[in-house]
Chain A
Amino acid sequence: MIHTINCSIINSTRLVVMKFKKVIPVLLILTLGLIVLAGCKRDVKNIPEAGREPVIEPDYSGVTIPRNIAPMNFIIKESGRAFSVLASSNDGFGLKIRSHNGIVRFPEKSWKKLISKSKDGKIAIRIISEDENGNMTAFNPVNLFIAAEPIDPYICYRLLYPGYETYLQIKLVQRSTESFKEISLAENQLLKNNCINCHSFNQNNPRKFMLHVRGSAGGTYFIDGEKITRRDLKAPEMNFGAVYPGWHPSGKYVTFSSNNIVQSFHASPDENIDVIDLASSLVNYDIEKNEMYPIEDADTVKYLETFPEWSPDGNYLYYCRAKEITDSLDFKNIKYNLLRKPFDQTTNKFGSAELVFDAVKINKSVSFPRISPDGKSLVFTLHNYGNFSIWHKEADLYLLDLGTKKAEKMSINSDETESYHSWSSNGKWIVFSSKRGDGLTARPYFAYFGSSENVGKPFVLPQKDPALYGRLVKTFNRPEFLTGRIKLGPRDFEKASGMKAVRAKWIGNKN
């Protein structure tokens, strides 16, 4: 059945959903749609072609998206007093939108239907612009490719100003990838305005994670189901607090780097700020026993060790290591390699460190190693020096084949910073922070990962208001995939902050 569409419908911004019979070929649908878009009376053949795709923001042209993604709303960045948009699947389903300001918003239900009807894995978005004189221009269709594998239904990130020393509003947010639902998880005004730091999940599990809070509500909050435990992980024997976490897949341990961190500001317009470790080492924390012990190295050289990451089988601890510097002004010479240590899960003993990727050799530095759920691939950030890649414009993502130990720059990078990243639970999607929009604020981008040779063009987390990224000065920090929704909220963390933080016991030599 073909819905009858008259011109009066076209003249408003209302959306018309057309349902066609499944047997009608795509070409016919596109043609029909185009006729409707053009104003019924106009022959589509008479509309001049621009001969190119329209510029849309965010750039969704040629991206690979999952079937369960939220509507990919966008803004048309072409001149014109009105735009007609037809998004269609190959299976006889089309969404038509008329926009006078270039903003295109798809209703969620219709969007889902559109994707479900796209059996050949493609959505074509056809845009026609109309200028003040009624002259129309048809653009080449923008194609979105649909992957079969779904994306995890939620991501979690910190939303805050990309500030330097001061902060005021920080919140931890869980956001549905399937809709625009954004749920606050923790807000610092309920935690005595203290800073909320790193959050980390055990294998994308929304029921098992942790986050740090500084200051008077300080401590590390461990979440197990709906229970929150507040711990003070800085045992008296430790010189510095526990900072960057890495969950052991068993959920029994979290390995931390214990860091002495300082900030430095740059005078050059090309650089901004650096966060430097003057000292750092690895410690392992037993959650059940509330015990902390050092991960020692037989090497007598003084190293900086940070960013622990466990292999999915729990047999290897990956981390970044650099030689310690003696002068803090010499921070541009701090370069981290990627290493790993074997771990015996029966004895809880670590073996000797082995080099996985020699970044120093190429005068670069590694940060944020993250291993795919199948244990075959590792994505890390490579930049010129140090470990705080989010402030390094040159930082890019590299894919390391853990079998061959060969690393290659990923196709998903831009000229701006690419930094923190994580894998979806099925290993088919990567979410990463990128500052490609404005050079200052990070946004969560998703990329399809079919294999090392088949990585999709990334797309930014869709927003209900597609203009949001263009005006928001806040940054999306440490995006992590979640396999479901976290059932806790800001008041739960506020309540937990009233509990006493139980201090961890130290086992072993002084740190």
Chain B
Amino acid sequence: MNKSAVKKIKSEDTMPNDGIRRGIPDFYFLLALLFFFSGLFFYFFGNYVFFYQENQMLFVFSGEYFEQFAVKPGGLLEYAGNFLSQYYFSKLYGAIILATIYSLLAFTFFRINKKISGSSSFSIIFSVIPSCLLVLMQTNFNYMLHNNLGILLAASWFLFSLSSDKKWRLIVSLALFPLLLYVAGAFSWIYLGMFILYNLMNRKLFAAVFMGIIAFLSFLVFRNLIFLQPWSELLYYPLPLKDYFKNPAFFYSMSGFIILYPLLFRWISLIEIPKEYLKTISVYGSLLIFSVTLFFLSRIYSPATADLFKLEKLLCEQDWNGIIKYQETKQSPNMIAQYYYNIALSEKGVLCSRMFFGRQDYGTKSVMIPWDSRASMNKMFRGVYFFYTIGLINEAHRWAFESMVVQGYHPENIKLLIKTDLINGHYAIAKKYIYVLKKTLHYRGWAKKYEAMLNKPELIKSDPELGEKIKLLPKHDFPIKIKNQQTNITFLLESNPGNRKAFEYKLAWFMLEKNIRGVINDIGKFKEMGYSEIPRHVEEAALFFSSEIGQLPDLGGLIINPETKSRFDQFGNWSRSNMVNNQIKPADIPVIFRNTYWYYLNIK
């Protein structure tokens, strides 16, 4: 760029411009469009992000919680993100928060554009690109809210730095960089990149070099004198963790784009558009960007992920009927969805009567999630529900505690810690968790309910949920088998023979591994366990067994439901007439037989 061009740009920076003034109404229209477009998307389609993120953290109104974040650079940004994320309990609030951030970001970049090249025809279009990138980024549910705030803070601080040529502003920008580094952590590197690039573009070598030196010194002082953090934390925190991003390239590309933004916008501003096309360019250009964003959203958006989180939300709400209905309607092929379905069936006491109404694609793997110390805790935590459901409360407590140690408190682990400690009679420790939960915005009421149970075992026993779990507890001790979970069910049942949930899980396990002999061995116990009828799928197993052996096993005084018998006869007739080479094509099996154990035996 020649000197005259630089002068021209400088003069444009400081005087009102017709072009930009004309563009302002268009921009605000676009801003409104962005607000509604992003808000509606996250309200209707992307709301699983809110559920997931709200469940990944627990904002606590306490000095100790604040202290955890204040001890490292970037912590305050995460703190602010967590503060806002607690409103994600409502998809309306969540959508408004995200839409506001995207709109503010677009507004900030619009102002930045004005400062970089006030007359550019592309100012409006260009200003919404970062927001659209963030919308796309946000479809990754692990992209936490503080990352959006980090980008917004970096851009806002950059806008402040370049909003006038006065010396004091430069001095303030330089002097306050350590503060920015402390507040925004690694997001300040994005600002640093923008600042240095912009100043180099404008041949302000001194400012660029001096800022670089200050950043370097700040980093050294933070590292060696102030914060007890390793180099890697100071360099990366709180950027999105690699663990959660299988492909972080998009995030780094987006960050690169924002760092290069001043340069890219300066280049594109060099393109001159005739005045009569300005409006057309703005309107169609913006529509094009929105269309491209929509296109990518449609490609990235995963209904299966949304379904899984919908199920998980129902699980957290203990809406067992909701889970059963949802899974039987959607028939999700996801293993976790099937695991949740089995949990819900067990909680309703119909595991062996209904489990084949939903898909069982993974055999015994959808019964429980095995402990794996190498797996990420936020995925593995789901395994806790199985133990809680069958009454292995110590093990449920352990999983919840391990989650708390690694992830910090989140609503689900702390609730389980409270419930399991109350069930086990560990009131003093339960009180500590209740104290934490009482200092939150949305779980106060929940905590108070359980606070009333402290030191009151009769109240705990009379609680429908906790009282039921107490009845399922093992009566004597046994060592938990981490690598052989089936043994835990057997041990639990031996320890507490009246535990019907463990009993049904034991039979479900046998059925899923097609161990009919195992089912038959226990079929006679139903009556003594208080069942008035044999669960439907167990009857189906018994009938299948009888067809192979020639007689029914000892049913312990109960009988096979005539409806089941009739259905079995129909299935037998159908299969005899439709079997080709001892094989049945899955697609050929009539719908009426697809929710039977026979279907599972033949097809899976």
A residues near B (Cβ < 8 Å) are 161, 163-168, 184, 187, 189-190, 192, 264-273, 329, 437-441, 470-473, 490-491, 494
A187→B230 CA distance, assembly (Å): 10
CA distance A107 to B402 in the complex (A): 39
Looking across the interface, which residue of chain A has its beta carbon closest to that of B392? A267
Write out the residue numbers on chain A whose beta carbons fall within 8 Å of the beta carbon of B482.
265
1/0 per residue, CB under 8 A from A, across B433-465: the answer is 101100000000000000000000000000000
Q: Does B199 contact A (CB under 8 A)?
A: no
Q: Which residues of A contact B426 (CB under 8 A)?
A: 269, 438-440
Instruction: Tell me how far the C-beta of A468 lies from the nearest C-beta in chain B, rounded to whole angstroms.
Output: 9
Q: Contact between A471 and B228 (Cβ–Cβ < 8 Å)? A: no
Cβ-defined partner of B405 (8 Å) among A163, A329, A441: A163
Partner of A267, one of B224, B373, B394, B405: B394
Question: How far, in whole Å, are A168 and B406 apart by their CA atoms in the complex?
Answer: 6
A165 nearest in chain B by CB position: B373
When C-beta atoms are compared, the residue in chain B nearest to A164 turns out to be B398
Do A168 and B477 contact each other (CB < 8 Å), given the known contacts A265-B398, A267-B395, A438-B429? no
Residues on the A chain within 8 Å of B516, using CB: none
Known pairs A266-B477, A272-B394; A440 contacts B405 (CB<8 A): no
In the assembled complex, the Cα of A101 lies from the Cα of B394 at a distance in Å of 36
Q: Assuming A164-B401, A268-B394, what are 12 further A-B pairs, CB within 8 angstroms?
A: A163-B402, A167-B405, A189-B230, A192-B230, A264-B480, A266-B479, A267-B478, A271-B477, A438-B428, A470-B432, A471-B436, A473-B404
23 residue pairs of the A-B complex, CB under 8 angstroms, read A161-B401, A163-B401, A163-B405, A166-B402, A168-B406, A189-B229, A190-B229, A190-B230, A266-B477, A266-B480, A267-B392, A267-B488, A267-B495, A269-B423, A269-B426, A437-B428, A438-B428, A439-B426, A439-B428, A440-B426, A440-B428, A470-B431, A470-B435
Cβ-Cβ contact count across A and B, 8 Å cutoff: 101
**Closest chain B residue to A269, Cβ basis:** B424
Whole-angstrom distance between the alpha carbons of A272 and B393 in the complex? 11
7 A-B pairs with least C-beta separation: A268-B477, A438-B428, A269-B424, A265-B480, A166-B402, A267-B474, A438-B429
Most buried by A among B401, B402, B425, B474: B401
Q: In the complex the two chains form, is A268's CB within 8 Å of B479's CB?
A: no
Q: CB within 8 Å of A: which of B404-426? A: 404-406, 423-426
Would A270 and B477 count as touching, CB distance under 8 A? yes
A184 contact set on B, CB distance < 8 A? 228
Instruction: Give, as a whole number of angstroms, the nearest-CB distance from B424 to chain A.
Output: 4
Q: Is A166's CB under 8 angstroms from B373's CB?
A: yes
| Complexed CA–CA distance, A398 and B401 (Å) | 32
Interface hub of A267, A271, A441, A490 (most chain B Cβ within 10 A): A267
With CB as the reference atom, state the residue of chain A lying closest to B477. A268
B473 within 8 A of A: yes
Instruction: Tell me the complex Cα distance, A438–B405, Å.
Output: 18
The closest CB in chain A to the CB of B377 belongs to A166
* B477 and A438 contacting across the interface, CB-CB below 8 Å: no
Give, as a whole number of angstroms, the nearest-CB distance from B546 to chain A: 36
Docked complex Cα distance between A187 and B233 (Å):
14
A184 and chain B: residue at smallest CB distance: B228
Q: Is B491 an interface residue (CB 8 A)?
A: yes
Chain A residues, Cβ within 8 Å of B404: 161, 473
Q: Considering the complex, give the chain A residue whose CB is closest to the CB of B224.
A: A491
- Residues of the A chain whose Cβ atoms lie less than 8 Å from the Cβ of B402: 163-166
Write the nearest CB–CB distance from A206 to chain B, whole angstroms. Answer: 20
Q: Which residues of A contact B224 (CB under 8 A)?
A: 491
The CA-CA distance from A165 to B373 in the complex, in Å, is 8
On whether the beta carbons of B425 and A269 are closer than 8 Å, the reply is yes
* Chain B contacts for A190, CB-based, 8 A: 228-230
Which B residues lie within 8 Å of A441 (CB)? 429
Inter-chain CA distance A268–B392, complex, in Å, is 9
List residues of chain B with CB within 8 A of the CB of A161: 401, 404-405
Separation of A439 and B429 alpha carbons in the complex (Å): 7
B492 interfacial contact with A, CB 8 Å: yes
Q: Which residues of B contact A265 (CB under 8 A)?
A: 394-395, 398, 479-480, 482
Residues of A near B429 (CB, < 8 A) are: 438-441, 473
Which of B402, B405, B406, B478 lies at the interface centre, i.e. has the most chain A CB atoms within 10 A of its CB? B405
CB neighbours of B473 from chain A (8 A)? 269
Chain A residues with Cβ below 8 Å from B233 are 189
A272 CB contacts on chain B under 8 angstroms: 394
Q: Does B585 contact A (CB under 8 A)?
A: no
Tell me whether B275 is interfacial, beta carbon within 8 Å: no
B3 at interface (Cβ–Cβ under 8 A)? no
Interface 1/0s, chain B 467-481, versus A by CB < 8 A? 000000110111110
A473 touches B432 (CB 8 A): yes
Residues of B227-272 at the interface with A, using a CB-CB cut-off of 8 Å, are 228-230, 233
- Closest chain A residue, CB of each to CB of B480: A265
Closest to B64 in A: A471
Of B228, B392, B474, most buried by chain A (CB within 10 Å of CB) is B228
Complex-state Cα separation, A192 to B431, whole angstroms: 34
Q: Which B residues are in CB contact (< 8 Å) with A266?
A: 394, 477-480
What separation, in Å, do the CA atoms of A270 and B477 have in the docked complex?
Answer: 9
**Interface-centre pick from A166, A168, A190, A440 (highest chain B CB count, 10 A):** A166
A161–B428 Cα gap in the complex (Å)?
16
Q: Which residue of B lies closest to A441 (CB)?
A: B429
Q: Is the CB of A267 within 8 A of B398?
A: no
CB distance from A164 to the nearest CB of B (A): 5
Most buried by B among A167, A192, A440: A440
